[in-house]
């Protein structure tokens, strides 16, 4: 096992490597955004170069698109693909029902569109992302810049009637300026602590004028692959109701680590 990788990076790598085994030639694959999804893109790139894997990838952000092209994956738009066989992405949190909070990387809108346009979604994560109840990670909500402060006030008022522990709302910043998504929108983060009813909250948030999308992914994920720093892997299948375990051995000269 490469000595310069932290346990958390090793956990992300083994989860991504295991998920790559679900990808077959001819597939149209949604490619997620974030540090764990970046490992998946690298794994798939190696399969393209070394094994002749032929896939078309639909990235969920500009930075994922750039990485995919760099590693040799054929990149197309969702409009070109029309429908996907599989999407593989990370998550900021997942609960026992495989409901998710996503959007820590700022790409929640494209991520949700791509995931829901897929036959199945696999989430790859390290064990720290597992929670009993969603909400410890701030819930991202993408909003249009016009009147965003009014939208934030409406969100605050709405949260008063929701089953949540906290109600603080902050505008995500990029230095001294608001963070801007690939679609030109802002993100406000809801610091809720605990979400009692994720499905209800997701529906109510998306009914609000000014809200584009929220980071609650409910009934979208089919499998979660959890990686551990010692090479252990857990695969949880919500449809089959199964949990399987495996272990991955590392080699010092793994191609994926040569340029890290």
User: Does domain 139-210 correspond to CATH entry 3.30.70.260?
Assistant: yes
Tell me: is residue 129 an annotated ligand-binding position: yes
Q: Is 108 exposed, middle or buried (0-12, 13-18, 19+ CB in 10 A)?
A: buried
Measured CA to CA, the distance from residue 35 to residue 238 in angstroms comes to 24
Residue 17 labeled ligand binder:
no
Q: Is 35 annotated as a binding residue?
A: yes
Is 92 within any annotated ligand binding site? yes
Domain locations in the chain? 8-128+219-257, 139-210
Find out whether 36 is annotated in a ligand binding site: yes
- Retrieve residue 46's tokens: 């190696």
82 marked as part of a ligand binding site: no
198/217 Cα distance (integer angstroms): 9
pLDDT of residue 260: 38
**Is 70 annotated for ligand binding?**
no
* Mean pLDDT of each 10-residue bin along the chain, 260 residues long: 76 97 98 97 97 98 98 98 98 98 97 98 97 98 98 97 97 98 98 98 97 98 97 96 90 49
Check if the beta carbon of residue 99 is closer than 8 Å to that of residue 80.
no
Query: Residue 251: what pLDDT?
Result: 56
183: annotated active-site residue: no
Strand pairing category for 93-94 and 139-143 = unpaired
Query: N- to C-terminal Cα distance for the chain?
Result: 14
The catalytic residue among 21, 24, 46, 111 is: 111
Q: Are 88 and 122 in contact (CB under 8 A)?
A: yes
User: Is 181 labeled as ligand-binding?
Assistant: no
- CATH (one of 3.90.79.10, 3.40.50.1360, 3.40.50.140, 3.30.390.30) for 8-128+219-257: 3.40.50.1360
């Amino acid at each position: 096992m490469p000595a310069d990788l932290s346990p958390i990076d090793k956990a992300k790598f083994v989860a991504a490597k295991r998920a790559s085994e679900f990808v077959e030639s001819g597939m149209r694959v949604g490619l997620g955004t974030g540090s764990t999804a970046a490992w998946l893109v690298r794994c798939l790139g190696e399969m393209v170069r070394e094994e002749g894997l032929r896939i078309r990838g639909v990235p969920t952000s500009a930075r994922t698109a750039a990485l995919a092209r760099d590693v040799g994956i054929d990149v197309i738009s969702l409009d070109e693909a029309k429908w996907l066989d599989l999407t593989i992405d990370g998550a900021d949190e997942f609960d026992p029902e495989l409901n998710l909070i996503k959007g820590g990387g700022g790409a929640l809108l494209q991520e949700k569109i791509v995931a829901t346009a897929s036959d199945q979604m696999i989430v790859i994560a390290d064990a720290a992302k597992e929670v009993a109840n969603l909400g410890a990670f701030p819930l991202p909500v993408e909003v249009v810049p016009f009147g965003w402060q009014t939208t934030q006030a409406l969100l605050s008022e709405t949260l008063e009637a929701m089953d949540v522990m906290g109600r603080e709302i902050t505008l995500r910043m990029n230095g001294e300026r608001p963070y801007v998504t690939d679609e030109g929108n802002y993100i406000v983060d809801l610091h809720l602590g605990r979400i009692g009813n994720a499905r209800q909250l997701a529906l109510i948030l998306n009914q609000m004028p000014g809200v584009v999308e929220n980071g609650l992914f409910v009934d979208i994920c089919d499998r979660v692959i959890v990686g551990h720093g010692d090479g252990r892997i857990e695969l949880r299948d919500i449809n089959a109701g199964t949990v399987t375990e495996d272990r991955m051995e590392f080699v010092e000269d793994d191609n994926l680590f040569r340029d890290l």
